[in-house]
Chain A
């Protein structure tokens, strides 16, 4: 029979194995796959970052693409139009996303439920429209091309390793946060904001905190994407991006830490597969989404977790 300690050990070994495998993948898979996996990792960071706010904080934002865009375009503009070193441009992206989100978030957390969601959508749309129309600064629909990446990172494999490192770092930080007192407070606020108020929590301040944190990681993902793609266009940061992120969280499981990671893998794979067979991928995706909401709200992670508990109970 499994004990708690052996369970933790199993989890630790699995994680270590996964990390090692991740680093070894380029040996076995060719560039096309590695590129795909890089995309998955970037989407994972975005989705996990978003899930901090959504799954753990209960704050349903309709506009993560806005913060993703702030990261992507800040880094993109800096790398195309200035000579700022790569590392700085990369950190500037999430920092900028976080700073602007302090202002955006301050307004948003003062509203609840549907109004919060719509306000986040409004802000995301404003960001999008400004980026799309400001030809002189962002290149408008022509986008930014020629995003420079330093020697040591140019090449699909090398950028892949970079992404893996960043992803591991981000996930580690997020994990620590969720299990810290701050993370617990956030979950308490999600469960019962009124009660949280009366255990001395300044609810709005905590909500702003998680909003900005979420924005930071979304910005990281955006910046990574700019470097990965070598270019960035408004089409990469529109409403479809928001829905991608949200669907990924649902698909993978909103109530599990690694849910969004599983969701990203599944989502990108499904998209690739469907695209090969039919031009009606939106139809298939739509049906999958409806199915998930009606029958499998826990997503992939929820499903696995249920099976695992069932097995343990039988043991």
Chain B
């Protein structure tokens, strides 16, 4: 394998890793704080991509630079939907068995996916790469899509932004307190239900943002959520539930694993991710950066 190919795969892998990060981080945060494994998360990502298509190609088709408007509007839309979902549905299953959460959010994903089908049909849709990221640049003999640069920037800014939010703002403090001990935070006067809704909205907003970011480089079609959902699980396992840095690292690892895997063993490329997931779960279930839960139960 020559350098050119290796560089191509590296750059592509990083790019796809960034997209996965944008979706997975929402899932991780929601699980870390709300303790809910939200299977409908990828459906919200898909909704984000469809909203991007609809808003930029239809509603605002004649607006110059519409992509950049949509990149604000669509995540807002998904955040609002997230709020509705949390308030009316998710709120009822906090603290219940994992099984019920799993099935409920699965049912929710079916609903959202079919509503997407209802609104936009079964055809494949496309969104063109927006200005100024059209075209490619030569890098070390290979060609890098300029849009990948946008992806790198988007991913790293979200990563940095979330770290800042969690560690240096009051909101971040509240979220960390509620994550650590919901009842104590409640007893101290923190409006825990509101924090929960807020976190869910944040996660959904990020998923929507991921959908918009992915739109120009993916085929927008039904079923795009299934592929992404499993990737999200893998990332969250590798990185550790609830860890922002872990999700970032995990996404990069998975992105690279997938792109190099396709090169070496195209047949079994997809398996690598699952094998890695299984290995991590067996050897170090809380992931690279997660906290081993020292649950010293009082017996």
Contact = CB atoms under 8 A, between A and B. Distances in A.
B278 A133 contact: no
Interface in A66-103: none
A194 B109 CA distance: 35
Interface string A21-58: 00000000000000000000000000000000010000
Contacts of B268: 129-130, 133
B110 A115 contact: no
B275 interface: yes
Contact of A293 (B107, B233, B274, B297): B107
A286 B110 contact: yes
Contacts of A194: 297, 299
Interface of A is mostly: helix
Contacts of B103: 246-247, 250, 289, 292-293
Given A194-B297, A250-B103, A293-B107, A115 B285 contact: yes
Given A285-B107, A286-B107, A286-B109, A129 B118 contact: no
A287 interface: yes
Interface string B267-299: 110110011011001100100000000000101
A239 B93 contact: no
B183 interface: no
Contacts of A113: 98
Contacts, number: 113
Interface in A164-208: 194
Most chain B CB atoms below 10 A, which of A110, A123, A126, A288: A126
Nearest to B229: A239
A114 B37 contact: yes
A290 B89 contact: yes
Contacts of B226: 239
Given A60-B98, A122-B277, 18 more contacts: A60-B102, A114-B37, A114-B241, A125-B274, A126-B274, A130-B268, A133-B267, A133-B270, A133-B271, A194-B299, A254-B99, A282-B117, A283-B111, A283-B115, A285-B107, A286-B109, A292-B103, A297-B100
29 contacts: A62-B102, A107-B278, A110-B282, A111-B281, A111-B282, A114-B37, A115-B285, A118-B233, A121-B233, A122-B278, A125-B274, A126-B274, A130-B271, A133-B270, A194-B299, A247-B106, A280-B118, A282-B114, A283-B110, A283-B115, A283-B118, A285-B107, A286-B108, A286-B109, A289-B103, A290-B104, A293-B103, A293-B104, A297-B100
Q: Which 7 A-B pairs have the closest CB atoms?
A: A289-B107, A286-B110, A283-B114, A286-B111, A122-B278, A293-B104, A282-B114
